[in-house]
Every structure is written in structure tokens, then in C-alpha cells.
């Protein structure tokens, strides 16, 4: 029965929200459903602790119990238009329908009612007509600066009356009529009031939030708002043009050719950096941007949202698109409005006819206005950045060349790394000769470095790699160059696989085995190859007699070695869970990546790689500490029930009945037991 009740509640919730006519109605319906257990026409409200701010609740807020990062408490109140009756559960009675003047007294706008009488507006809002009154709450009047309030009440017949008339529209407007971006002529000289109806259900008029909506009266309707609103006569650009605190911004807007746009019709949100914000930027960087029209335009467009966003519309962090094309995280922390998580907004909701301005004390610089060196600073690649500068490459990174820099994460470098000639050369191979985006890279593509080396691109299911290093973060696309953050220091290929093996003393036995097996030419061919190279220790772990027998039989030796080779390039960054690789001879190899804290190890058929990603011009070498053997077959239930005679021995790697691998396995097992004893 309980499950049936919950199902019914869920279906009712979905149905009512789906059929609600507007975002506000959706939130109201949700609040009704959450409050229905307390009786008819009861709405659940969320109140931010320590404040008087209340909100109808949506699903996300209901479960998180937070608004603007602050905890909320749930209260249950009569929904708009209803009231309690003594002895009755919930709010069963509709509020008596009276004129607007009397309605003001029962909806929390008694101060507006008082000022209406003093301004001789009472007769008008008691009489015939069809008005909409956006009535400031009692708290809204109390929050009004004293000098403004004194100016209004000292001239009630003109200033106060005009102010109240600006809160009125000469027609009935329900919440359904308050469409996002709409404007209606007020009863004060037909100056428009500006409506915004946001997806989270919040409705504003001139950026004042409607806190009690749809309070019907005989001669109109009352919406209670959380602040006193004033007439809007100037566009956004006029604000910038006339405020001395925005002098630097004004100059920048003119230089970038954005004046006409900010004077045109629209619904912009401008985060306007003050003079102080510009002064915080290093002069060299600021002068470079101010002198570069493209970078300057990107910088300014990064401060402008495509839609109008009043402060009261924000209840949690929301990514919003800028005119520059990227997003800003606009959020709130208590009473503070935040940008990208920082409370840098000094003054909110300066409303213009075509948008709203919020003053900020910190300049927002998009990646598209930065040099490569500026992109790298302040991120997780500080070690690489310092090394590039120490290597004398700073001019490439701060100039106007079209380049792409591969910047290894800090943990890719050993502690105490010092500059050497070889390191300088290596770092030059981390700078590519063209500006790229990772989305344009493809498998097999070759990228030329400043040192003239060609680096190869490898594309795997879950990774994109350049030689041995894989990209681990989103691209940073700067003014002239791009930055790819990679997980390792890039190792350019040096010689063929055979050259790599010969240059490393750990593989002297393997080199001899390859020559004995007649595979030298194969290892020098164009490839591509992946070689899991047993070290000398791996060969020495075999019984001497078995090793000698294997070395005397080139055919069997070639079969064993080919099981360690594949005809494709797989770097360690391309290994995921249960990656499979087809060897040159034999059944598949199964690879896995095991991670422990910051360390990770590749395993092939449960044999660990002791050093990965030795890059060659025709492939890659991974050093392994043991001879790789086929994994035992995974027997399913049908195979387990089959007669033994029906199961065939796998001899696909060229060793009859797998004798050699069986001997190796027994030998290794007996050694392990001996050590244990």
C-alpha cells in the first residue's frame, strides 16, 4: 500500500509539472505537492537560514536543502490566494476578493498601502479599472536608502506618486502573462517595466524578485516584489559612458568597436570591470591586450552574456554562454553573486533599457586573449613552464607565432630537475610548429617540432596520445597558440626498434635471440610494431637447459618471440581495462592497467611491464621482466561439461602441445616454491 501511495505521488508530480504552463507554475505546483500532506492549498517553502528570503521549491532544491550554498529550512504556508480557517486543516478558504488598496494590507505590503494613501493614490486603486501593481514588500521599503526615501516622502504628490505609478501597469497581468524578456508601459509616463521569467521559476520586474505572485483583486492583481524599482531610461552603454569608475572600460569598448552593440536593442548582461580591476593586471600584459583589437574584443565579449541575468535569478552555480563563445559559471554564495566561484561583484543590477550591468573588481581574461606563456602560468604545469623559460624558449611562448605547446604535468618531472643541453633539446621537441586543436588530430598524423623532429599521433578508445604522452585536459586555445596538457615528458623516437634494443644493455640476450630467430629485418622494417621485450633477467629466470634448447631451435624461438610482438603501436596510455592485442603468432594478448595512487603499471597476460614506452621510429618497446605465456583458457559451463576427448589442445604458437611454455611454467613454479621454503 505504501509503495502504491509513493507511485501515485510520483505520477501526480510528473503530470502536474509537465502540464504546468510556465516555469513559475511548475515550481508552484511542485511546492503544492510537497505541502499537500498538511492540507489543501498548502505550499512548501524553503527559507534561507538567518534571512527572510523564501522560495517555492523545485526538485533539486528540495533534495539539496540549499539555496546559494546556504542551508534552508522548510516551512508550510498557504499557497497564493488562500487562507486558513480556525479548526480546519490546511488553507481551505480563498482569500476574500477586495480592491487593490485593501489587498495590499493582507499580502505583506502594508507600507505600500500607507504610502499609496499619503500620495493620494488610494482613490485610484480602490476604484474601477484593471491594474497590475508590483507592490514593494514592507522589507523592501525598509531597505531603501534613507536619502532616497526622504526625497520621496518629502514630495508625496509628485515624487512618491510617480514612484508608485511606475510600479503599476494599466492592465491585469498574471504570472502567465509575464513572459521572459517582455516589457509593459507603466502608469508613469509610459516608461517600461522589464520582465524576466527564468527557467528556475523566478520572475523579476526590473530585477526585483516577485515574492508573492497572483494576488487577485476586484480591480486588478497584486504581485509583491522584494525591492522598490525605479524607472529605466538609459541603455547599457550610457552607464559605461557616464561612470568615472568605468573610464578604462569605456576606452576599451570604443577601441574594440562595441559601442554600437551596447546601444542596440537586446537583453545583455555586462560584468563591467572597474578601473581598479584593470589596474590589477600586469602592465605589459594589459598593454598588449589593449593594443591588439582581436584579443581586446575577445576580452570584452567574455564579460558579456547573451541573456539578461539579474542577481535574484541565481540560486546556484549555472554555466552561461558569453558573446566570446565560452561560458562563465555564474553563481551565488549567500547574498554575494559569484563569477567562476569568486565573489568579485561589487555592485549588482544596474538596469538599462537593453540589459543589466554588474560591476566587478577583477578582470576576466579568456584563454583566447592570452599568450602561450600566460596560458601555462597558474595551472598544473608550473614546472614545465619554468623549464621552458630556463631553456630560453620564453620568446616563442610569449610571441605571435602560431604554435602548440605540449606541457607535461608537474608530476611528470623528477624532483630537482636541472637544465642541461639535452633537456633544452628535449623541450624544443615539446613545441609544435602550428596551432592545433586536439579535435583535429587523427591517427598516424605527424607533427613537426621546433627541433625538426616528427611526432606521431595515436588515437585510442579513451585516449589521444602524441608519442608516449597522452592529453589529460581540455585544450587551452590562446591568442596565437594552443596548449595541450600531457601526462608524461614526450620521448621522440630515436632509431628503429632494433636500434632501441641494441642501445639498452638490458636487452642484450633478446637482441641475440632476435638475430638467431631471423627476425632482425622485421624489427628494422617500417612497422608499425609493438614489442614486449623480455629483459636479460627474464631470460635468466628460465632453466639453463630450457634456455639453451630454445636458443638452438630458431623456429621455436621465433614462435616464442612473435608472441611478444604485435603489428600495431600501442603505448601505455592507450591501455584500458581488458585491452586485447593480436600478436604476430598465437592467441590474443590481454593487457590491463593497474593504478595505485599516482603509480600505474601495465600488465600483459598478468606479466608486469617494468618500463613502458621506449619509442622507436617504427613502433614502441615495452620492457617486461618475464617471458609472456598464454593465459589458461576461460572455460564456460558447457565446456566444463564436455568430454575430455572433445577438447583440443591449443598449439597455435608453433610449439607442439605447448611443451616449452609448460616447462617454463613448471620451472618458474618450482623456483617460487624453493624460495618460499
CATH superfamily of 497-624: FAS1 domain (2.30.180.10)
- The three-class DSSP label of residue 568 is coil
**CATH code 2.30.180.10 for 236-364:** yes
The residues facing 454 across adjacent strands are: 448
- CA–CA separation, 29 and 219 (whole Å): 26
Sequence spans of domains, the chain: 23-93, 99-225, 236-364, 370-486, 497-624
Q: Which of 406, 415, 529 minimizes the C-alpha distance to 469?
A: 406
Q: Mean pLDDT in the chain?
A: 89
236-364 and 497-624 in the same fold: yes
**Least confident among 40-54, 69-83, 374-388, 431-445:** 374-388
All three cell numbers of 605: 597476460
All three cell numbers of 664: 617454463
CATH superfamily of 370-486: FAS1 domain (2.30.180.10)
> How much is the average pLDDT of 152-165?
94
Q: Which of 476, 491, 653, 484 minimizes the C-alpha distance to 572?
A: 491
> How much is the average pLDDT of 50-59?
90
Is residue 11 over pLDDT 50?
A: no
Burial of 347 (0-12, 13-18, 19+ CB in 10 A): middle
Burial of 236 (0-12, 13-18, 19+ CB in 10 A): buried
Helix, strand, coil percentages for the chain (3-state, nearest 5): 35, 25, 35
- CA–CA separation, 366 and 375 (whole Å): 9
- CA–CA separation, 327 and 222 (whole Å): 37
- CA–CA separation, 196 and 205 (whole Å): 7
- CA–CA separation, 9 and 11 (whole Å): 6
User: Which pLDDT tens digit goes with each residue over 411-429?
Assistant: 888 877 888 888 999 999 9
R_g of the chain computed on alpha carbons: 36
User: Which pLDDT tens digit goes with each residue over 187-204?
Assistant: 999 999 999 999 999 999
Is residue 5 over pLDDT 80?
A: no
User: Which pLDDT tens digit goes with each residue over 489-509?
Assistant: 999 998 999 999 999 999 999
What pLDDT, on a 0 to 100 scale, did the predictor assign at position 240? 95
CATH number of 99-225: 2.30.180.10
What pLDDT, on a 0 to 100 scale, did the predictor assign at position 597? 57
Amino acid at each position: 500500500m505504501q509503495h502504491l501511495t509513493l507511485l501515485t505521488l510520483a505520477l501526480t508530480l510528473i503530470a502536474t509539472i509537465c502540464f504546468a504552463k510556465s516555469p513559475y507554475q511548475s515550481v508552484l505546483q511542485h511546492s503544492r505537492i510537497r505541502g499537500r500532506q498538511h492540507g489543501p492549498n498548502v505550499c512548501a517553502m524553503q527559507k534561507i537560514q538567518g534571512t527572510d528570503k523564501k522560495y517555492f521549491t523545485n526538485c533539486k532544491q528540495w533534495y539539496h536543502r540549499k539555496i546559494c550554498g546556504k542551508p534552508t529550512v522548510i516551512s508550510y504556508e498557504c499557497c497564493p490566494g488562500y487562507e486558513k480557517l480556525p479548526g480546519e486543516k490546511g488553507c481551505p478558504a480563498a482569500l476574500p476578493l477586495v480592491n487593490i488598496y485593501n489587498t495590499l494590507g493582507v499580502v505583506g505590503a502594508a507600507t505600500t498601502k500607507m504610502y499609496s494613501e499619503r500620495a493620494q493614490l488610494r482613490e485610484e486603486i480602490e476604484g474601477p479599472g484593471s491594474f497590475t501593481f508590483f507592490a514593494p514588500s514592507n522589507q523592501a521599503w525598509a531597505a531603501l536608502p534613507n536619502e532616497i526615501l526622504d526625497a520621496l516622502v518629502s514630495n508625496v504628490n509628485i515624487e512618491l506618486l510617480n514612484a508608485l505609478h511606475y510600479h503599476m501597469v494599466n492592465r491585469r497581468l498574471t504570472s502567465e502573462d509575464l513572459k521572459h524578456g517582455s516589457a509593459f508601459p507603466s502608469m508613469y509616463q509610459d516608461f517600461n517595466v522589464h520582465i524576466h521569467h527564468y527557467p528556475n521559476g523566478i520572475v523579476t520586474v526590473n530585477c526585483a524578485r516577485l515574492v508573492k505572485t497572483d494576488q487577485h483583486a476586484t480591480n486588478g492583481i497584486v504581485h509583491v516584489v522584494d525591492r522598490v524599482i525605479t524607472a529605466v531610461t538609459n541603455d547599457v552603454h550610457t552607464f559605461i559612458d557616464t561612470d568615472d569608475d568605468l573610464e578604462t572600460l569605456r576606452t576599451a569598448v570604443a577601441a574594440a568597436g562595441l559601442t554600437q552593440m551596447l546601444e542596440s536593442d537586446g537583453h545583455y548582461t555586462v560584468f563591467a570591470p572597474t578601473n581598479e580591476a584593470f589596474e590589477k593586471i600586469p602592465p605589459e600584459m594589459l598593454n598588449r591586450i589593449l593594443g591588439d583589437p582581436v584579443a581586446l574584443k575577445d576580452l570584452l565579449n567574455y564579460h558579456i552574456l547573451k541573456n539578461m541575468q539579474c542577481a535574484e535569478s541565481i540560486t546556484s552555480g549555472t554555466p552561461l554562454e558569453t558573446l566570446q563563445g565560452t561560458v562563465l559559471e555564474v553563481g551565488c554564495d549567500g547574498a554575494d553573486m559569484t563569477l567562476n566561484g569568486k565573489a568579485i561583484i561589487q555592485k549588482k543590477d544596474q538596469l538599462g533599457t537593453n540589459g543589466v550591468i554588474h560591476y566587478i573588481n577583477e578582470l576576466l581574461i579568456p584563454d583566447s586573449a592570452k599568450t602561450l606563456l600566460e596560458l601555462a602560468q597558474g595551472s598544473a604545469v608550473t614546472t614545465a613552464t619554468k623549464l621552458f623559460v630556463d631553456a630560453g624558449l620564453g620568446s616563442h611562448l610569449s610571441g605571435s607565432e602560431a604554435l602548440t605547446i605540449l606541457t607535461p604535468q608537474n608530476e611528470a618531472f623528477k624532483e630537482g630537475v636541472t637544465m642541461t643541453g639535452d633537456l633544452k633539446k628535449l623541450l624544443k621537441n615539446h613545441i609544435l610548429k602550428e596551432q592545433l586543436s586536439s579535435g583535429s588530430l587523427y591517427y598516424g598524423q605527424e607533427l613537426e617540432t621546433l627541433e625538426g623532429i616528427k611526432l606521431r599521433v595515436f588515437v585510442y578508445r579513451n585516449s589521444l596520445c602524441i608519442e608516449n604522452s597522452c592529453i589529460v585536459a581540455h585544450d587551452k586555445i590562446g591568442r596565437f597558440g594552443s596548449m595541450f596538457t600531457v601526462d608524461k615528458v614526450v620521448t621522440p623516437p630515436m632509431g628503429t626498434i632494433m636500434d632501441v634494443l641494441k642501445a639498452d644493455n638490458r636487452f642484450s640476450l633478446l637482441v641475440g635471440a632476435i638475430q638467431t630467430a631471423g627476425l632482425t629485418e622485421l624489427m628494422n622494417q617500417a612497422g608499425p610494431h609493438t614489442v614486449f621485450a623480455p629483459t636479460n633477467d627474464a631470460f635468466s629466470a628460465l632453466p639453463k637447459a630450457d634456455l639453451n634448447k630454445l636458443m638452438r631451435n630458431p623456429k621455436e624461438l621465433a614462435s616464442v618471440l612473435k608472441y611478444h610482438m604485435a603489428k600495431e603501436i600501442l603505448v601505455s596510455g592507450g591501455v584500458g581495462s581488458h585491452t586485447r592485442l593480436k600478436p604476430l603468432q598465437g592467441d590474443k594478448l590481454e593487457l590491463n592497467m593497474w593504478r595505485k595512487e599516482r603509480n600505474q603499471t601495465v600488465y600483459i597476460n598478468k606479466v608486469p611491464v617494468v618500463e613502458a614506452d621506449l619509442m622507436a621510429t617504427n613502433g614502441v618497446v615495452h620492457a617486461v621482466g618475464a617471458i609472456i605465456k598464454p593465459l589458461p583458457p576461460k572455460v564456460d559451463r558447457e565446456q566444463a561439461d564436455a568430454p575430455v576427448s572433445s577438447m583440443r589442445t591449443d598449439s597455435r604458437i608453433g610449439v607442439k602441445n605447448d611443451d616449452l611454455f609448460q616447462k617454463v611454467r613448471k620451472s618458474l613454479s618450482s623456483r617460487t616454491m624453493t624460495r618460499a621454503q
